[in-house]
A and B are shown apart, each in its own frame.
Chain A
Amino acid sequence: MHEITAPLKSFRIALLGNPNTGKTTLFNVLTGLNHRVGNYPGVTVEIKKGSFVHQSNAIEILDIPGTYSLAPRSPDELLSVELVLGLNPLEKVPDALLVIADASNLERNLYLATQAFETGLPVILALSMVDLATASGVKIDFKALSEKLGIPVIAIHASKRKGLDELKNAIVSLQTEKRMPPVPVFSQDVISNRAKILGLLGDKGSLFLAGRLLFETDGFLAQQLERKLSLSLTPAILESREALKSLGINLVSIEAKSRYAWIREMVQPCVSKPESKVTGFTDRVDRILTHKVFGMFFFFLIMFSMFTGLFVLAKPLMEWIGEAKNLVGQGLESVLPDGMLRSLLVDGLLEGVGGVVVFLPQIVILFGFLSVLEDCGYMARAAFLMDRVMAKCGLSGKSFIPLLSSVACAVPGVLATRVIEDKRDRLATILVAPLMSCSARLPVYVLFIGAFLTEGYGWWFPGLVLFLMYGIGFVTAPLAAMLFKSTILKGKGAPFLMELPVYKTPSFSVVFARIYEASFSFLKRAGTLIAATMVLIWAVLYFPYVSSTGENYPERIAATENKEQQDALLLEWKKNSYLGRAGRSIEPMVKPLGWDWRIGVATLASFPAREVVVGTLSIVFGLGKDAQDEQQLLEILQKARWNDDPDQPLLFNVPSALSLMVFFALCCQCGSTLMVIRQETGTWFWPAFTFIYMTGLAYIAALLTFQVGMLFL
């Protein structure tokens, strides 16, 4: 251990840690909402930056994605190493590293810390999950460990804000007193060959980087660094590797062996733990939840409970929002004179946006369920169970987590594919992720199940139908993946290798943050994209309000006392509007699906976002209805007739409602998803491909649903 004295300056610290160590919780707690996401050209990795002030010192934190080691095997992982080592021209080198390690699995977590020790930067070690370690009989002498490692070692519990002041004090004191960590010991042969490579790297090098070049036998890192540092390293590296091989040293395993041996030597005097056994809480629960038969049973039970709960719990809340919307509508109608402005505000904005906002409770409950499942450790078990199924489709269990995330929203689902190392597997997962039913489909399902598949059935039936609608995605996505992997993306699947975290009580702050983020994003979409679309839909349905013979529809409707005449005029007005004309031109295409032109245009209009269809249906079916006729959209749809003609049969029956739901289950009506596919694949080809194949699939499936359904009606 040696000390360096440095002058006071603004302080940057990079946060490193294994996945599931509570790194995100610590970052959120330290920085609050004061963070942003950094963008780096050429890579898809998301690096968060945040800051906080402690004792008048401004501290900036760089949150590096969770990793088991600093051995880069892809451009994304290389970026993390570059940021840690200050090799990225867009970022300054950090002043120190903060490594967060899981105290209940200390030796494994210290592997990453040993790599951090070799970077030449001061390191602070924060130990999380100390309570779990204590519960499993692990005792850690923090003071002795700190003395042994020569760095500050601090026990923290981020969500309970324990140990944070001590951690902040340690970060601040690093500015004046930098205690350098010891360097893990390798054999003399390794040390001398690593020193040779370090000499070639000059002032851009570090022991860590030299070690990486020596140990990384696939040449990826050497190629990248030769390009970035304009150095010719390969012959010297090959020579050093050959020298070690001739001494019988296995380059693939020597690094891990040496590091773990060193870790054991450091940890043994400071940590006492019982003999590793398989009787802990997690192991006992895993016997059931990861079992081939019982595990699958519980997986389906959890999914079914989630979707039934979604339906049952959200109902009263949705009714309150619906009533509030009606009250606002009545209030606006009482203060605004009849005319275009009132129609725009009440029939356009309030009906359209309110029709979507009413589904906020479902979003809150869905994201609440998913974040609880993720934070308690169940998601990884689901991936384990599904690996067998995914392997049959040419993918691995790692693809299942992005697919399950897509149940909330395909955008984070597509982003979550970054954990898949194999390029073909990743692309196949990106292409099928939008097939999973996302929260934007939920309003469509809830509306049509509520209208046509609830009355006259048992209390459990709507939940079952909703579960089956989600099941369409769960079945179709792997099948589509299998098709892609056996045709356009042919290749051997990547092996599944994943750590299953211990079960823990979900952190309230993490669950709340996810629900808040999702609700905020949903309301923001409703207030911006959806509101703008609604105004547009209202306008193309309102104009022209003068017929070809010069008759003013609103004036004629106001002047007519007869209700039937009013309805006939309204129908004529809608049909002659720009939207009506467009709708009637596409009606021959959508009629075989059991839809009329109004459903057709609502579907077309929902291209920017699926939930728009509900708002559009509210406007298309509800425009012009006066306050006394105020009905919920649900009732309006139940009573709707073909072309709004009272002599025609009812527009919707069970097959046509199912046909619409199936279409929305499989179509790709989401601008944001297509944009994120473009961002992740770097080309417009794959979003275009996704849109075309999903729309085709949705049309065929909806056609079959309606036509087969009619045979049984």
Chain B
Amino acid sequence: MIVRRNLNKVWNCYSMNDIPLTMLESGEWAEVTDVSGNPNIVSRLSELGVMNGCKLCMLQQGQTCLLKVGESRLSLGCLYSDCTIMVRPVV
């Protein structure tokens, strides 16, 4: 219940089309709309190309996910407590 309430609070800040990265299905493409949280992780992610406006594809979904960002394949794990990545699915 608490988790859902907090999640709703986060979601309300974004457009209705935006979803957390964790909800992206394998094989789905999306555009990053917001990266926020621990500044160290946010800046490390942006150095690797994960920032607002970038297109990415979820290659493997899960607690540790595998993303294709540009020509790179990035694996992210246990990020969700430190960093929130909001994306907008694109066709």
Contact string, B36-49, partner A, CB cutoff 8 A, digits 1/0?
Answer: 00011111111111
Q: Is the CB of A499 within 8 A of B73?
A: yes
The minimal Cβ–Cβ distance linking A380 to chain B, given in whole angstroms, is 8
Interface centre among A71, A290, A493 (most CB of B within 10 A): A290
> Which residue of A105, A383, A397, A496 contacts B72 across the interface (Cβ within 8 Å)?
A105
Residues in B neighbouring A493, C-beta threshold 8 A? 78
Q: Is the CB of B46 within 8 A of A388?
A: no
Q: Is A270 an interface residue when CB atoms closer than 8 A count as contact?
A: no
Q: Is A591 an interface residue when CB atoms closer than 8 A count as contact?
A: no
The minimal Cβ–Cβ distance linking B59 to chain A, given in whole angstroms, is 6
Binds B, one of A167-175, A252-260, A514-522: A252-260
> Which residue of B40, B42, B73 contacts A500 across the interface (Cβ within 8 Å)?
B73
Q: Is the CB of B64 within 8 A of A500?
A: no
Given that A105-B72, A497-B74 are known contacts, is A388 also in contact with B59, CB under 8 Å in the complex? no
Q: Is the CB of B48 within 8 A of A384?
A: no
Given that A252-B39, A286-B59, A290-B59 are known contacts, is A387 also in contact with B73, CB under 8 Å in the complex? no
Contact string, A195-228, partner B, CB cutoff 8 A, digits 1/0?
Answer: 0000000000000000000010110000000000
Residues in A neighbouring B48, C-beta threshold 8 A? 68, 108, 497, 499
The minimal Cβ–Cβ distance linking A224 to chain B, given in whole angstroms, is 16
Residue of B nearest to A421 (CB): B40
In A273-319, which residues have CB < 8 Å from any B CB? 276, 278, 282-283, 286-287, 290-292
Q: Is the CB of A108 within 8 A of B75?
A: no
Q: Is the CB of A252 within 8 A of B70?
A: no
> Which residue of A218, A255, A256, A384 contacts B40 across the interface (Cβ within 8 Å)?
A218
The minimal Cβ–Cβ distance linking B31 to chain A, given in whole angstroms, is 13
Given that A391-B63, A495-B41 are known contacts, is A283 also in contact with B68, CB under 8 Å in the complex? yes
Contact string, A42-72, partner B, CB cutoff 8 A, digits 1/0?
Answer: 0000000000000000000000000011010
In B25-73, which residues have CB < 8 Å from any A CB? 27, 35, 39-49, 51-52, 55, 57, 59-60, 62-64, 66, 68, 70-73
Q: Is A423 an interface residue when CB atoms closer than 8 A count as contact?
A: no
Q: Compute how far the CA of A105 lies from the CA of B47 in the bound complex, rounded to whole angstroms.
A: 14
> Which residue of B42, B47, B51, B77 contacts A391 across the interface (Cβ within 8 Å)?
B77
Q: Is B17 an interface residue when CB atoms closer than 8 A count as contact?
A: no
Q: Is the CB of A499 within 8 A of B76?
A: no
Q: Is B19 an interface residue when CB atoms closer than 8 A count as contact?
A: no
Residue of B nearest to A496 (CB): B77
Residue of A nearest to B71 (CB): A105
Q: Compute how far the CA of A495 lies from the CA of B43 in the bound complex, rounded to whole angstroms.
A: 14
Q: Is B81 an interface residue when CB atoms closer than 8 A count as contact?
A: yes
> Which residue of A104, A253, A260, A397 contacts B75 across the interface (Cβ within 8 Å)?
A397
Given that A108-B71, A397-B64 are known contacts, is A497 also in contact with B44, CB under 8 Å in the complex? yes
Given that A68-B47, A218-B39, A497-B45 are known contacts, is A278 also in contact with B77, CB under 8 Å in the complex? no
Given that A68-B47, A253-B51, A290-B66 are known contacts, is A496 also in contact with B76, CB under 8 Å in the complex? yes
Q: Compute how far the CA of A290 lies from the CA of B27 in the bound complex, rounded to whole angstroms.
A: 14
Q: Is the CB of B77 within 8 A of A257?
A: no
Given that A253-B42, A278-B68, A388-B62 are known contacts, is A396 also in contact with B47, CB under 8 Å in the complex? no
Q: Is the CB of B59 within 8 A of A252?
A: no
Given that A104-B71, A276-B71 are known contacts, is A71 also in contact with B77, CB under 8 Å in the complex? no
Q: Compute how far the CA of A286 lies from the CA of B58 in the bound complex, rounded to whole angstroms.
A: 12
Residues in B neighbouring A276, C-beta threshold 8 A? 55, 57, 68, 70-71
Q: Is the CB of A286 within 8 A of B43?
A: no
Q: Compute how far the CA of A502 lies from the CA of B55 in the bound complex, rounded to whole angstroms.
A: 19
The minimal Cβ–Cβ distance linking B43 to chain A, given in whole angstroms, is 5
In B73-91, which residues have CB < 8 Å from any A CB? 73-79, 81-83
- The number of residues on chain B lying at the interface, defined by a beta carbon within 8 Å of a beta carbon of chain A, is 37
The minimal Cβ–Cβ distance linking B70 to chain A, given in whole angstroms, is 6
Q: Compute how far the CA of A493 lies from the CA of B81 in the bound complex, rounded to whole angstroms.
A: 10
The minimal Cβ–Cβ distance linking B83 to chain A, given in whole angstroms, is 7
Q: Is the CB of B39 within 8 A of A500?
A: no
Q: Is the CB of A496 within 8 A of B75?
A: yes
In A483-501, which residues have CB < 8 Å from any B CB? 492-493, 495-500
Q: Is the CB of A497 within 8 A of B63?
A: no
Interface centre among A71, A256, A287, A493 (most CB of B within 10 A): A256
Q: Is A595 an interface residue when CB atoms closer than 8 A count as contact?
A: no
Main secondary structure of the interface of B (DSSP, over half): mixed
Q: Is the CB of A498 within 8 A of B78?
A: no
Residue of B nearest to A132 (CB): B71
Q: Compute how far the CA of A380 lies from the CA of B72 in the bound complex, rounded to whole angstroms.
A: 13
Q: Is A73 an interface residue when CB atoms closer than 8 A count as contact?
A: yes
Q: Is the CB of B73 within 8 A of A282?
A: yes
Residue of B nearest to A398 (CB): B77
Given that A108-B71, A278-B27, A278-B68 are known contacts, is A283 also in contact with B59, CB under 8 Å in the complex? yes
Residue of B nearest to A105 (CB): B71
Q: Compute how far the CA of A513 lies from the CA of B47 in the bound complex, rounded to whole angstroms.
A: 32
Q: Is A573 an interface residue when CB atoms closer than 8 A count as contact?
A: no
Q: Is the CB of B74 within 8 A of A499?
A: yes
Residue of A nearest to B44 (CB): A497
Given that A276-B55, A278-B59, A388-B62 are known contacts, is A495 also in contact with B46, CB under 8 Å in the complex? no
Residues in A neighbouring B40, C-beta threshold 8 A? 73, 218
Residue of B nearest to A70 (CB): B47
Q: Is the CB of A71 within 8 A of B73?
A: no
Q: Is A107 an interface residue when CB atoms closer than 8 A count as contact?
A: yes
Q: Is A367 an interface residue when CB atoms closer than 8 A count as contact?
A: no
Contact string, A128-167, partner B, CB cutoff 8 A, digits 1/0?
Answer: 0000000010000000000000000000000000000000
Q: Is A706 an interface residue when CB atoms closer than 8 A count as contact?
A: no
Given that A105-B70, A278-B27 are known contacts, is A397 also in contact with B43, CB under 8 Å in the complex? no
In A451-508, which residues have CB < 8 Å from any B CB? 492-493, 495-500, 502
The minimal Cβ–Cβ distance linking B14 to chain A, given in whole angstroms, is 16
Residue of B nearest to A257 (CB): B51
Residue of A nearest to B52 (CB): A253
Residues in B neighbouring A652, C-beta threshold 8 A? none
Q: Compute how far the CA of A292 lies from the CA of B63 in the bound complex, rounded to whole angstroms.
A: 11
Residue of B nearest to A377 (CB): B73
Q: Compute how far the CA of A321 lies from the CA of B28 in the bound complex, rounded to whole angstroms.
A: 57
Q: Compute how far the CA of A145 lies from the CA of B72 in the bound complex, rounded to whole angstroms.
A: 21
The minimal Cβ–Cβ distance linking A481 to chain B, given in whole angstroms, is 15
Given that A252-B42, A256-B46, A290-B60 are known contacts, is A391 also in contact with B78, CB under 8 Å in the complex? yes
Residue of A nearest to B56 (CB): A276
Q: Is the CB of B46 within 8 A of A252?
A: yes
Given that A218-B40, A497-B79 are known contacts, is A256 also in contact with B51, CB under 8 Å in the complex? yes
> Which residue of A255, A292, A492 contacts B62 across the interface (Cβ within 8 Å)?
A292
Residues in B neighbouring A287, C-beta threshold 8 A? 59
Residues in B neighbouring A104, C-beta threshold 8 A? 71
> Which residue of A69, A255, A256, A497 contacts B76 across the interface (Cβ within 8 Å)?
A497
Additional A-B contact list (11), CB under 8 Å, known A257-B52, A276-B71, A498-B75: A104-B71, A107-B49, A218-B40, A253-B51, A256-B49, A276-B55, A291-B60, A391-B63, A391-B64, A397-B77, A500-B75
26 A–B pairs (Cβ distance < 8 Å), ordered by A:
A68-B47, A68-B48, A71-B43, A108-B70, A108-B72, A136-B71, A215-B43, A252-B46, A255-B46, A256-B46, A257-B51, A276-B70, A276-B71, A287-B59, A380-B75, A388-B63, A391-B78, A396-B78, A397-B64, A495-B77, A496-B79, A497-B48, A498-B75, A499-B74, A499-B75, A502-B73
